[in-house]
Structure formats: C-alpha cells, structure tokens
Structure 1
Amino acid sequence: MFDERFVRLSEGDKARDLVQTRLVKGLASCGLKSNVVSVHRNAWRSVMAKARVQCFQIFARAVAKLRGGDPNVKYAWYGASSKEEVEDIIEHGFGGKMPLRDGLRLSPDDSPLKSVKSCGVDKDGVRHVILCRVILGRVEMVPRGSDPCGSSSEDYDSGMDGSFSSPEGYVIWSQRVNTHVLPEFVISFKLHPSKGNVRIEEPLKPSSPWMPFPALISVLSKILPSSDIALISKFHKDYKENKISRHQLIQKVRVIVGDKLLVAAIKSFREKKIPASFKHARSWQPENHLGGQNTVSFMNCVSGLKEGRNTERDIRPY
C-alpha cells in the first residue's frame, strides 16, 4: 500500500497489536466497529527523516529543561485526507508544502473519533490515520471554535480543548509542527455499521452534485484579487498536465482561498447566487480587490473542515 519509506507490520507484531488495539477500542467506545487493513511504521530511512527524529529528541530535552524536567510527551491521532497526504507528511512533515497558520489539531490516543471524522475515504472504503508522538510541554486551554494563531504567552507550548482531565484535542502551533510532532505509525482501516449512533462523513463520496473547477474559479474571481485567481488557474493547469495530484490541487486552493470562503463559494454555486455573507467570509474590501496576494490559510492538512464537511468531495477539478 505504501512505498519504501514505510515498514509494514505483520499480524502478531507487538507494536502493531498495541497500535491497532488503541484505535479499535477508542472507536468501539463511540459505537463504531472498525477493521484494520494494515499498520505501517515510519522507516526513517532518508537523511531528512533521521534528522527529524533527532530534532524531535533535541526539542523534547529542551522542553523538559524548560518545564521542570517533563516534556509531557503523548501519543495523538491525525486524520489524513488521503494516502497521498500520508506520503506528503512522511516526506515533507506537517505543513511542509503548505503553511498551517492556525496550527495542527490532533486527537488524544484514547479518543480518535474527531480525527477519524476528518479522514478521507478511498474507493475501497479505506481511511488512514497517523499516530504521532507529540511534545505538549505546558498546555493552555484553547476552546474549540476559537481561532488563535499561537500560544497566548511564552509560558505555554501547546493548546488543548475539552478539559485537562479529559482532553478532546490538542493544538500544536504552526511554528512547532515539525519539531514537536513526530509521525510514527499509519493505520489503514475500514468502518462498519454498528449499533452506535455516531455519524461519520464520507468525504470522497458526494451526496450532491460536485462543483466544476471552472465554475469555482468563476465564482472566486468576483471576490479574490487577480493574482490569486492566476495562481489558482496555474495549479489547475498543472493538474490537467498531471504535474500535481487532485489532492495537491485541492489543498493548494484551500491555502489560497481559505476554508470559510471555499464553503461559501460552493454554497453560492448550488444556490445560484452570491449572498452578502460570501463577501464578508474573507473580510473582503472593494479597495483591495486588485491588490496583492491576500491569502487565508486553512485550519490545517488535517483539520481543514473537520467541524463540518470535507471540501474535496464537492469540487470536480475539470
């Protein structure tokens, strides 16, 4: 399923048993039945991969020294939108190709549901989650729905929503995603119907008509500066020439446009109109319409539209 950057763990392997049991039990507690297809471990074969491990260890020691001897290292889940995203993360790190201005959101290792909800689903019904080692250090509360760009002060190393006794998610700030987060295992799995009432979105299986990419560009051209539209058009051309994948195209557009505006564009296409709220989704002003690049980042390659739907299923890149 994956290339030489990964080592497939066979059934009976201790590490595999521990990892898949954590995922299966975590989902079962929410009423979801899962079937693990495969478990892969990051092989750390390349020079850069080995450097990331050393960097993580150095920062763990530094945080421990700064925080009274305890770096507060935990395991946490990240829900990948596709197999391609998993490979991008292993090759380039989190945010390696695209900035994560709002930080990286992860789920505690005993509560994977939110990360699973953000997973993409391939044509065979397979999803992928990444189990990461994370340096949390000193944690501050960051309520879900808030939109901070970093810690409130140098006294904190990461964020958390929920409560300290029962965390619902962790937030790793953008400047620390590749020093404080180490992707170790990739679990590929399927979900099956069960007696639980938890509803999981199927991001790659549209239940409504998709939005053609030229139509998306047409709608966005009414709002975005011409430089942004030119860049989006270039990426679309690269996709048609097989220079980038569909996943890469969508992710690049999300970086330029921002998730809120992208959702508004899709809704306006379906409603055949552009509501007033659409313009304000990006704090748009007429005087800067022809200005320079005015980009808004997505919440991350992992969080994106985690609180709602996955935009990738709504756009047809043709």
Structure 2
Amino acid sequence: MEFTRDISVLASNSLTKHTLDSQLNQQTYTRNSGLDTTHDDDDDSVMSDCESANSGSAFDPHPSLGEGLISLHEGDKVYDLIKRRLISGLGVLGTRAEIVGIQRNLFPGIIGQARVQSFQIFAKALARKWGGDANVKYAWYSSTKDEICKIIQHGFGCCGKPDNNGLYGCGIYLCPDDSPMECVKNSLVDKDGLRYMLLCRVMLGKVEVVRPGSDQSHPSSTEFDSGVDNLKVPRRYIVWSSNMNTHILPEYIISLKAPSSLKGFGRAQESLRMPTSPWLPFPILISALSKFLPSPTIALISKYHRDHRENKISRRELIQRVRQIAGDQLLIAVIKSYQAKVLT
C-alpha cells in the first residue's frame, strides 16, 4: 500500500513533456490505488515541465530495449524506491543481486497514449463499480529481454498456456510488489548474465481465489474481476487474458544480475521457511494432503509426481510446484504431524 502510494507520488513529481502524464491531473495518484478514480481529469491542474522534480533524468532511450524509455539513475527518488523495494523483498538474498538498470516506460506516440488512457478509463469504471476503489497495485512480471521488448511495444500477448504450465488458469501471472522472489527465480538469464523484470501497475478490482490446476480463463461471475492464489497473503495476481492489455500498465523495466542458477536463492529461502524434518515419501505426503485439498488439486500434485518419476521434471521442480499448490503452512503441518508419529 505505502509503496504504491509513494512511487505514484514520486512518478507524478518527475513528469516530463515526453510523457502522457503531462496531460494528466496530478490528483490521479491517490494513497490506496495510485489512481484517482473518482474525479475527472483537470488539465488546468497539470504540473508544468519546470515543476518536475529530478529533471536530471533526461530523455535517454535505450537502443537495446527500444525507444520511448527513460533511464533512471542512483539518487533519483523513484530509482532508489524501486531498488529498495526489490532488494528488501529478496530478504537476506538481496545482497547477492545487483540492479544494473531501471528504465521508465514513457508510453510514446498515439498508441502509447491510448494505452494509458484505456487503463484510466477502466480504473474509473471499476472504481464506480466497487464504490470508489479499483484496487490498483504494483506487481512484478519477469520474462526474457525480447519478450519484454514486445510487451513494451505491442502489449501483452498469450500464446498457449502462460508460465508455470497454466497452474492458475489462462492469464498473466504477476507477483505482489513486496514478494519479488518467485519472479526473480522464474526469470531467465540472457547471454550477458542479465535478468529482466517489469514493475507494472495492475488493476485488480474485486479478486477471487483461483485453485491450482484451474482451467479458468475469465472471472467466474460478474462479481469478480481478477484472481489471486490466496486472499489473505497473495503470492500471485492472475489477470485474465481478456484484460491483460487494459488492466496491466508496464511502467518500469528492471535489469539485474543474480546468481546464474539461483540454487542459492532456493536453498536459502527453504532454510528460512521450512522446518527440519525426516524424509517424507511423496505417496505418504499426497495421501496426507488429500485430507485437506480438493480432488482436482491432488490429481495435479499426483501428475507432477508422475512427471518426476518419468524424469520429465527434477525433484527440485516437483518440490517447488507442490509448495506453490499446497502452500508452506499446510506442508509444515503435515510434515510435523508425520514427524510426531515417527518419533512416538
């Protein structure tokens, strides 16, 4: 919440004539959602170019990522805020990551302006639908350098199932701004040893829980707009394919260096979150989980177990997917219960 507010305010205070933001009311940035969806734009209240802060970040398109990007630098308040959020979200592992660059998407040209305006229109509509709150958040999205270039130029596109084998249905999966770990782990390293992520403004509206293994591709009813894997502590935002280019605004591109295999990331994260316990055979684990999870979810876990036995996925991948599906809290409880039985 505070990150969304802070970065929105900072962004609105660093406008230049190259962005559509110069046509937008500074009041469109609010505490809760980053967009004021209760007032119409008022061009008279637009900040002038001379009032923009941190004007030292001059227009400097990055040739390798395409035009229409402005490079931010150390000392720029937005740069420092994004860097701090990303590094702190990686916990003790943040010391092993190096931010190489942060660039802001200026949404140039008629199409770029239309994308921003479309986002605003839908945000205002959702806010009216839900009593003033469109539930706009910041979230991370990782992909290859080439794919991010295409997203910046043409928007999101779905070809078949998304990442994670369509674990939560057909849509775009993003990680909350305070939980970048999974996004970094799933990012791919290019020939220069760099990983690329987008920091997007995401319009969630009213969310519903999407169960692992779902083949859902749209809201289950008009009462919902998007999905999450957990209502209380979401680790995934699911924006349906039909809304991916109206409800997601890719505002910043982050390039970073991290350990090439990220094995250290996985081991350190598991040591922080998982208890010491005896080896638990997967068939026993699946049987225990069947008491708490619905049949389709157990079927999905069983499928991944078969894939591992047939050498289609590694044991590490199997464990990661089971953790995503069942959640650490349930797994810890099951392991502790098994441990207690073994010791008695």
Normalized against structure 1, the TM-score is what?
0.59
The residue correspondences of 1:214-293 to structure 2 (distance < 5 A) are none
Greater RCO, CA 8 A, separation 6+? 1
Q: Counterparts of 2:149 and 2:266 in 1: how far apart (Å)?
A: 29
Q: Counterparts of 2:237 and 2:95 in 1: how far apart (Å)?
A: 22
Of 24, 27, 45, the match for 2:90: 27
- The answer for the alignment partner of 2:155 in structure 1 is 93
Mapped pair 1:174 → 2:237: no
- The answer for the alignment partner of 2:206 in structure 1 is 138
Q: Counterparts of 2:111 and 2:84 in 1: how far apart (Å)?
A: 30
Structure 1 residue 96, shift from structure 2 partner: 7.3
- The 8 Å contact of residues 199 and 250 in structure 2, kept in 1 or not, is answered as yes
SS at match of 1:154: coil
- Paired residue type of 1:178: N
Structure 1 residue 198, shift from structure 2 partner: 1.4
Structure 1 residue 185, shift from structure 2 partner: 0.3
The residue correspondences of 1:279-318 to structure 2 (distance < 5 A) are none
How has the CA–CA distance of structure 1 residues 169 and 91 changed in structure 2, closer, same or farther, with 3 Å as cutoff?
Answer: same
- The 8 Å contact of residues 133 and 182 in structure 1, kept in 2 or not, is answered as yes
Normalized against structure 2, the TM-score is what?
0.55
- Paired residue type of 2:148: V
How has the CA–CA distance of structure 1 residues 199 and 190 changed in structure 2, closer, same or farther, with 3 Å as cutoff?
Answer: farther
Structure 1 range deviating more: 92-101 or 62-71: 92-101
Of 214, 232, 241, the match for 1:165: 232
Q: Counterparts of 1:87 and 1:174 in 2: how far apart (Å)?
A: 19
SS at match of 1:167: coil
The gaps in structure 2 that reach 5 residues or longer are 1-63, 163-168, 269-302, 313-319, 323-344
Structure 1 residue 165, shift from structure 2 partner: 2.5
Structure 1 residue 176, shift from structure 2 partner: 0.3
Structure 1 residue 46, shift from structure 2 partner: 1.9
- The 8 Å contact of residues 88 and 94 in structure 2, kept in 1 or not, is answered as no
Structure 1 residue 125, shift from structure 2 partner: 1.4
How has the CA–CA distance of structure 1 residues 29 and 58 changed in structure 2, closer, same or farther, with 3 Å as cutoff?
Answer: farther
- Paired residue type of 2:196: H
Of 139, 155, 165, the match for 1:76: 139
- The answer for the alignment partner of 1:150 in structure 2 is 218
The gaps in structure 1 that reach 5 residues or longer are 201-259, 270-305, 309-318
Query: Matched residues, percent identical?
Result: 46
The residue correspondences of 1:115-134 to structure 2 (distance < 5 A) are 115-134=183-202
Which has the larger strand fraction?
A: 1
- The 8 Å contact of residues 104 and 177 in structure 1, kept in 2 or not, is answered as yes
What per-residue deviation string (whole Å, max 9, x for no partner) do you get for residues 131-161 of structure 1? 0000100000113333311211110000000
What is the Cα-based RMSD across aligned positions, in Å? Answer: 3.0
SS at match of 2:266: coil
Which has the larger helix fraction?
A: 2
Structure 1 or 2, whichever has the larger Rg, is: 2
Aligned pairs, how many?
Answer: 207
Of 182, 192, 195, the match for 1:114: 182
- The 8 Å contact of residues 196 and 253 in structure 2, kept in 1 or not, is answered as yes
Q: Counterparts of 1:268 and 1:28 in 2: how far apart (Å)?
A: 33
